[in-house]
Amino acid sequence: MERGVIVIAVIAAAAVFALVVERRRPSPPTQSRWAVPTQLDRGDFDHPDRPWLVAVFSSSTCESCADVVAKATVLASDVVAVQEVEVSASPALHARYAVEAVPMVVVADGEGVVRATFVGTPSATDLWAAVAEAREPGVSPEPDLGRLRGSTGGASPG
């Protein structure tokens, strides 16, 4: 009987020790999730009459932003307006749409509904495929490229 009590006491002490150690374990690092707009006022951007908008939110101090702008510019056509929204030139638009991370690409339809986004530098192939898929669903072999995910507004990093 005495051995049984000792075994139970040792097990209880080990359980308490494990609980104390687990509580002292630090929380994981903060995981940033940048909010992306889900709706744009097309009147805020150039060529509101075009059926599609590719807005590239950028900063002149961001090296990768110029690369993203170059990839997006190729998409400009009679039906796709492409506009760089540089923070020092358009701070009001960055504030209006709560853009805190650049480069950010937002693909919106004629009503301003955001159909695809990228936070970070997407490959040209991924960006072009996402715009093609937004314009004509079913054409891309990867239809989820740039799609909004969850309620936090998280997006594909490309």
Domains and CATH numbers, the chain: 42-135 (3.40.30.10)
Of 72-81, 106-115, 125-134, which gets the smallest average pLDDT?
A: 125-134
- The pLDDT assigned to 141 comes to 67
In the predicted model, is pLDDT for residue 2 greater than 90? Answer: no
Model pTM score: 0.72
Q: What SS3 string covers 101-136?
A: CCCEEEEEECCCEEEEEEECCCCHHHHHHHHHHHHC
In the predicted model, is pLDDT for residue 153 greater than 60? Answer: no
